[in-house]
Structure 1
Amino acid sequence: MPRTTSLSDAEQHRKARKAGIASFIGTTIEWYDFYIYGLAAALVFGKVFFPADMDPGLATLLSFVTLWSGFVARPLGGIIFGHLGDRIGRKTTLVITLIMMGIATTCIGLLPVYAQIGVWAPIALVLLRVIQGIAVGGEWGGAILIASESAPRGKGILYAAFAQQGSPTGNLLATLVFFALSALPTPEFILWGWRIPFLISAVLVIVGMVIRLKLEESEDMKRLLQQNKTVKLPLAEVLRKHWLIVLLGAGVLPVIHVTYFKSTFALSWATKALGYSQGTFLSIIVIALVVQFITQPLGALLTSRIDMRKAVCLMVLPEFILMPAMFFAVETKVYWIAAVGMCLATVPHAMFYGAVGGILARAFPARVRYTGLSLAYQLCSLLVGGGTPVLAQWILNSSGSIVGVAIASGLYAVVSLACTLALLRITGFNASELSSAEHADARDLAAGAEPEPVAGERGRRVHAGPHPA
């Protein structure tokens, strides 16, 4: 989106860095809260929130179903906070979502278990997980936009990567906490140790709140508010004018959800079926997360430097082979082979995740960007993200073999590649040039008229052209 303020270049870069760092810290805390649930679901929730005499495989499957409930709630969070973010600003929504996430996560750490209150234990767990899902559903789009919309021209994908770094960092922190707790004897871990990661959230949220309350609103949102060009019902406009972009955007994202094959499902499978100790396999996941943290920004850098179609192919195609191969590496039960397999499988989807936030942010006009971006992301989360460990566990329970799970993981990459290339045909191939949606915003700004529909939404192929003078 073209910048319209009178900020100097130095001031623009200072504000962009501040927004990027604040987005990174905030999303780290939010994703920490979200990921500790997945780890606990794989390791302990089946044992403490369901009857002790239940079949372990079924208990694990039901535990993953409670995990899925958070993903089911994420589109609702995207709609609610997308509406607020497009109406009153990105900053306010980010403060609200952080508070919601912190309260829900802390309360999970205080919940009575099945042996104490029976069926009310899993019911309460699901309700709190739903609140988590609503919070993270509203968080992601706002964090991406507060960073990308504050970026200098042509740098939106790079600055959106700041927010994306919160995911591996939060996941890494969550895994390290559980890794440390794996030193506890199993009875103590099941009795009280698993609660500690959830209670830590209360402290982290205070830190996040201090940072977010000092954050400035993005320049694009300021312009919309100043010119009174916000939309009364952003969701209605998105569904009426930009539904194709939403569907393609959702189709772009399955490959980023292979992380739930790699961490949540694989952790349960390796520790319960293959004989890995909890600490051993968590250490493998930690190594892979460090690799993700290091390599993820390279995806945003690559996408910003070359034709985005080539960049996407370079990032996604290897995953079709490497993710299935990871399962067979883990199945060898040889530590270094499993670690290498998981690290290699991590690099492609990590790089893609580093770039995809900025790619999708370019696809929607500013006045419905929060809603459109959130709806696309959370629609995929609903259909794919939370369902991934459920699907994998069901395939394993049904077949007794990991082969079907490996094949399913590779298919995620195929869907993402096809939809990303289709989306780029509409939005444009060059990250340094305005996308079709940003061109519409620029024309709106110049003419002082209502924003016109993005050309791609009318079914025509649009290439991003040079910046307007």
Structure 2
Amino acid sequence: MSDSVNTAKRARKAGIASYVGTTIEWYDFYIYGAASALVFGHVFFPDNLPDGVGTLLSFVTMWAGFIARPLGGIVFGHFGDKYGRKKTLVVTLILMGAASFVVGLLPGYSTIGLAAPILLTFLRVLQGIAVGGEWGGSVLIASESAPKGKSILYSAFAQQGSPTGNLLATGAFFFLAMMPTPEFILYGWRIAFLASILLIVIGLVIRLKLEEPQIMQQARKKDAVVKVPVVEAFKKHWALILIGAGALPLVQVTYLKTTFATAWATDKSHDWAYGTSSFLGIVAIALVVQFIVQPFGAVILSRVKDMRKAIFWIVVPEFVLMPLMFFAIQTGNTWLAILGMAAATVPHSMFYAGIGGILARAFPAKVRYTGISLSYQLCSMTVAGATPALAQWMYTSTDTIMPVAILGASYAVVSLICTLILLQKTGWVASEDSNAEKAEKIELAEETAEDERLAALDREDASRP
């Protein structure tokens, strides 16, 4: 079998494994968001809190997972850069599955009092650590196994796991919410968490059959791995880490569309409020739209000569579509809500498809896992985790959705500016090596030449009498 056929086969296998693994991880992460919006305020906090406060507190526990994500990026980035991508991804999958399963067994406030929200927060932190290490490794296992010039396209396999996992989580709660409300709050929601154990088994079977990307195999053979990747990453690439984090707020609008919007749109104090199952159905339709259109973002970025132009035209429509989505929902008209949410989904999902591959190209292989994980998780900690709580506070304080709509549009502005800066620094032609990849090839050529020179000297010495 030719090398090109072998490469294509490894790339497909890595892409599929990346997709399945991230689907499972994101399912576990998103069911927490759905449960925070719908039931955690009732189950894990006192019943006598003012309206909306229990939901706000449950969003704060959700934020704890985002705060923990940079720690996961540092810890698992270290092991991923030093010992390999595959082993690290197996550990993140097990950690996420165990934490989610235990949430499904956790007693509520009425049973164990204050220990309930404390333990819930601790389990959310474990989830955050797991997903903090998962994302970077999944992007890399796909992009580093890709044929030359197709790393952004193959990195989209990992990104596709997000809408799929979100769709599975939304679908699970869509059907579970059809139960009578007392039964749903008492035990129905727990089924979604307990079922995650089955998905973890499937993910492990697939991941254990993976091959380590060749670039990582070569680094370990040459003993070219970095002793402490996080130190190396911050010392030499801190600017790229911060710019990468700044490029990612647009990715986090999904928490405005799902977690916050679900709580807001199903709040019975509104005369236009939607039923829980009805609105979850709207969210599910938007996720189907995301699943369908998202890969086209990676395709466009891979085929357009200048990725800066592609990013500009992908992101700009979100400036308008995200605010319009909230006003469409507020009409109480289901069809307008579906149209508004589906339209707002297109720009940020296409952006999400390509941003993982763009970030992966920015860092050298020896700190790549750590670098892209830190960028993603720093943004997640500061933006994603805060988004539902911030949006809820904005709405509660002003009694109008306008500040939340402006918040969503501002994420797009920040992401556009930082992504254009990132591409300017790292290279904007997807089919060509990035600046980091060019530097690596020069370094490898110099090391090879030095090895050959030393080998020649050894042969010379051996030939002397």
Alignment-mate amino acid for residue 157 of structure 2: F
Give the conservation status (yes or no) of the 8 Å contact 1:238–1:371.
yes
Q: 2:288 aligns with which of 287, 290, 295?
A: 290
Residues 68-125 of structure 1: per-residue CA shift (max 9 Å, x gap): 0000000000000000000000001000000000000000000000000000000000
Residue in structure 2 matched with residue 165 of structure 1 by the alignment: 160
Q: Residue 298 of structure 2 aligns with which residue?
A: 300
Q: Map Cα deviations across residues 18-76 of structure 1 (whole Å, 9 max, x no partner).
A: 00000000000000000000000000000110001111211111010000000000000
Q: Give the letter for the 2:43 counterpart.
A: V
Give, as a single letter, the amino acid of the residue that structure 2 aligns with 1:290.
V
Is 2:257 the partner of 1:262?
A: yes
1: CA distance, partners of 2:217 / 2:33:
37
4+ runs deviating over 4 angstroms: none
User: Where does residue 442 of structure 2 map in the other structure?
Assistant: 443
- The structural deviation recorded for 1:7 is 6.4
Which residue in 2 is equivalent to 1:427?
426
Equivalent residues in 2 for 1:215-364 (5 A)? 215-272=210-267, 273-274=269-270, 275-306=273-304, 307-364=306-363
Residue 177 of structure 2 is aligned to residue 177 of structure 1? no
> For 2:2 and 2:363, how far apart are their aligned partners in 1?
24
8 A Cα contact 1:91 1:212, kept in partner: yes
Q: Which residue of 1 aligns with 2:45?
A: 50
* Partner Cα distance (2:399, 2:359) in 1: 38
Q: Distance in 2 between matches of 1:65 and 1:449?
A: 53
Q: Structure 2 counterpart of 1:194, which letter?
A: W
Residues in 1 aligned to 2:373 and 2:208: alpha-carbon distance in whole angstroms: 22
- List alignment gaps of at least 5 residues for structure 2: 450-465
Supply the RMSD in Å over aligned alpha carbons.
Answer: 1.1
Per-residue Cα deviation, 1:132-174 (whole angstroms, up to 9, x for no partner): 0000000000000000000010000000000110000000000
What is the alpha-carbon distance in structure 2 between the residues aligned to residue 167 and residue 22 of structure 1? 14
8 Å CA contact 1:299, 1:351 repeated in 2: yes
Q: Deviations over 1:408-449 (max 9, x none)?
A: 110000000000000011111100000000001111111117
- The CA deviation string for residues 292-324 of structure 1, in whole angstroms up to 9 with x for no partner, is 000000000000011100110111111111001
Which residue of structure 1 lines up, in the alignment, with residue 407 of structure 2? 408
Deviation at 1:219, TM superposition (A): 1.2
TM-score by length of 1: 0.94
How far apart, in 2, do the equivalents of 1:150 and 1:445 lie? Answer: 19
CA drift of 1:223 comes to: 1.0
Name 1:466's counterpart in structure 2.
none
Q: Paired residues, what number?
A: 445
TM-score (ref. length: structure 2): 0.95
**Aligned-partner Cα distance in 2 for 1:435–1:357:** 14
| Contact 1:82 1:371 survives alignment (8 Å) | yes
Residues 265 and 449 (structure 1 numbering): CA distance in 2 closer, same or farther, change over 3 Å? farther
Identify if the C-alpha distance between structure 1 residues 449 and 320 changes in structure 2 by more than 3 Å, giving closer, same or farther: farther
Correspondence 1:15 to 2:10: yes
SS in 2 for 1:79: helix
Aligned 1:23-102 pairs, distance under 5 A? 23-102=18-97
User: Which amino acid in 2 is paired with 1:205?
Assistant: I
- Give 1:461's aligned residue: none
Give ranges in structure 1 of 5+ residues lacking alignment.
1-5, 451-469
Percent identity of equivalent pairs? 62
Q: Which amino acid aligns with 2:23?
A: T
- In structure 1, the residue matched to 2:453 is none
Q: Which amino acid aligns with 2:314?
A: M
Counterpart secondary structure, 1:228? coil
Letter of the 2:261 counterpart: A
Larger Rg: 2
